[in-house]
Amino acid sequence: MAHYDPFASSFDHPLINSSPDFSSRNGTFSNRPVGGLQSSSLAGVLPSFGSQQPLRDRLTIWKELDAERHLLLNDLLYQLETTQEQLRKTRLEQQASNCLDYEDRNAFVMVLIDGDGTVFNKELLSKGEAGGKEAANRLVLAASDLIAQRLAHLQSPKLVLRIYADLAALSDLLVRSQIIESPLTLDDFIRGFNSSEALFDFVDTGNRPGATADKVCQLLKLNLYDCHCHQVIFAPSHSREYGVALQEVLGDSQVVSHLTLVESVPFDKELEHVQSQFHSARFDSIFCKSRPSGLAAIAPPKPASAVLPALTKVESNKTTANSSASSTPAPNWATITAAIPPAPPGLKALANGSTTSVNSSKAGSKVAGKPGKPRTIQTNRFGQRIDDTDSTIPNYEIQRVKKLKLCNLYYLQGKDMCPSSSCTHRHDYPISNSERRTLREVARMTPCYFRTECENPDCIYGHQCPQNKPNEPDCYFKEDCRYHGWGHGIDTRVVKTTKI
């Protein structure tokens, strides 16, 4: 196509010049009509037409050429955009493939257990260190079977296990429930458990109320959104915080399938409505199927028995050669009754039909409670247990009794109820009836392990904060209160009294 320079001194365009050309290159004068064509300059570009062709026809031709040019540009842009989109998809697929390879390279499954509510069974705990190792092996097998079913695409993922519990409260519960004989047995069990696998840990959370649930909830969220964690096997307790945490998980459809709930004991009301929306599993050969009772029934003392020898008739006025020669006198009623050991004090009380033990030389050894008094549990409209407190006891008297450091179990439930042979609280104080009532109020300041769901009528511990006020979420001590998170704002109006 010919090119024209409009700034050149010899500019000569066939479609623009309509006046005589006084500056043509050859210096000759030419007078062309407007739109006069030169075949040599537009040959091959425009179709040939006469010099008298209307301007509108020529404009139509130019519009057609512009349309063709626009179509060409659109086709080029479409091909460019298509190529760019294909390139972007290819890069994303490559990045996703690399990411999957990276995730699978360090893939692991987290087993997260709240040890306050999910307790190992008696068979394992009673074996001490050997039981801890056996429990770890059973968990490995159970989790491996679950991984093989749900994550078949993974090849040998790592298994990480964390158990969190308040070990002081747990050992006390297990001893009182007669699952283990001494807190040292639990220490041996944990030692064996932790030493069995490199990534298995049984962690003490301390005695701060709600510490276990706080730690477990934070680790649950952390691992659910970890790209390397492909599954969380979660064994919760009865804490309400877990219901809130699981509701948040349900709100994110991307991680719901990554969570499996382990049910050892039946879930509470807070978890029942969300249980069906997650995968679930049971490890019945590892954990208790029911919660340990805080106070196991103690069998009444068995009466002492003695084998009575056959009685022989003793002649008072006659002696024989054999009898005089014998060094062992013939048994009679006096010698037999002397040989029978005396009955324990508690047996006499049981024989008399009394539920209290008799007084001993040590004051305060009898069980608090009057003979024949019905054993009851008071609950509100929500089924929460309500404590029967005595508001007439002055605060200074409560503080005085607290400073005495008396053993609650010994003075409120009987001398045989304290399981510790090295108890650091007093067993020798001559307690009065009024002090015993005050001590009962002091014992209520210690939260019960089962909280408001306790069903033991003889439980001496608290089931709501002593300073609890309905509809108030906290007391004076705020987060430092031992009942923080569950023991406040409880309706104390009793609507049901259950006799046990």
Domain residue spans in the chain?
105-281, 376-499
Quick check: 486 pLDDT over 50? yes
Residue 367: count other Cβ atoms within 10 Å of its Cβ.
Answer: 19
What pLDDT is attached to residue 154? Answer: 77
What pLDDT is attached to residue 48? Answer: 52
What pLDDT is attached to residue 265? Answer: 72
Using CB atoms within 10 A of its CB, is residue 312 exposed (0-12), middle (13-18) or buried (19+)?
exposed
- Amino acid identity at 354: S
What pLDDT is attached to residue 47? Answer: 53
Quick check: 217 pLDDT over 70? yes
Per mean pLDDT, which range of 81-85, 124-128, 292-296, 448-452 is the poorest?
Answer: 292-296
pLDDT tens digits for range 103-137: 567 889 999 999 988 999 999 999 999 999 999 99
- Amino acid identity at 26: N
Quick check: 92 pLDDT over 70? yes
The CA distance from 18 to 122, in Å, is: 113
- Per DSSP, 359 falls in state P
Using CB atoms within 10 A of its CB, is residue 311 exposed (0-12), middle (13-18) or buried (19+)?
exposed
Work out the average pLDDT over 204-220: 89
pLDDT tens digits for range 243-258: 888 888 888 888 888 8
Contact 237, 217 (CB under 8 A): no
Contact 115, 239 (CB under 8 A): no
Quick check: 311 pLDDT over 50? no
What pLDDT is attached to residue 29? Answer: 43
Contact 462, 483 (CB under 8 A): yes
> Mapping DSSP to helix (H, G, I), strand (E, B) and coil, where does residue 111 land?
strand
- Amino acid identity at 116: D
Beta strand extents in 331-479 (DSSP E only): 376-379, 385-386
Contact 185, 193 (CB under 8 A): no
Q: Residue 496's beta-bridge partner residues? A: 379
What pLDDT is attached to residue 137? Answer: 94
Which residue in the block uniquely carries the two structure tokens 């039981």?
131
Mean residue pLDDT of the chain comes to 75
Quick check: 91 pLDDT over 60? yes
What pLDDT is attached to residue 246? Answer: 87
Residues 363, 367, 373: CA angle, nearest 5 degrees: 140
CATH class of 105-281: alpha beta
- Per DSSP, 165 falls in state E
Q: Which two tokens stand for residue 288?
A: 């208790």
Q: Which two tokens stand for residue 311?
A: 């009685």
Closest to 116 in 3D by CA, of 261, 235, 285, 251: 235
The larger pLDDT score, comparing residue 500 to residue 426, is at 426
pTM above 0.75, yes or no: no
Quick check: 301 pLDDT over 80? no
Residues 212, 214, 215: CA angle, nearest 5 degrees: 70
The CA distance from 30 to 18, in Å, is: 11
Work out the average pLDDT over 51-62: 78
Residue 67: count other Cβ atoms within 10 Å of its Cβ.
Answer: 10
User: Mind giving me the DSSP string for 405-419?
Assistant: -B-HHHHHH-GGG--
The CA distance from 119 to 135, in Å, is: 11
Closest to 109 in 3D by CA, of 150, 163, 147: 147
What pLDDT is attached to residue 357? Answer: 37
The CA distance from 401 to 212, in Å, is: 31
Per mean pLDDT, which range of 160-174, 222-236, 255-269 is the poorest?
Answer: 255-269
Work out the average pLDDT over 26-41: 47
Quick check: 318 pLDDT over 50? no
What pLDDT is attached to residue 52? Answer: 54
The CA distance from 283 to 16, in Å, is: 95
Which residue in the block uniquely carries the two structure tokens 């078949």?
152
What pLDDT is attached to residue 314? Answer: 39
Question: Would you tell me the crossing angle of helices 240-250 and 211-224 to the nearest 10 degrees?
Answer: 10
What pLDDT is attached to residue 6? Answer: 54
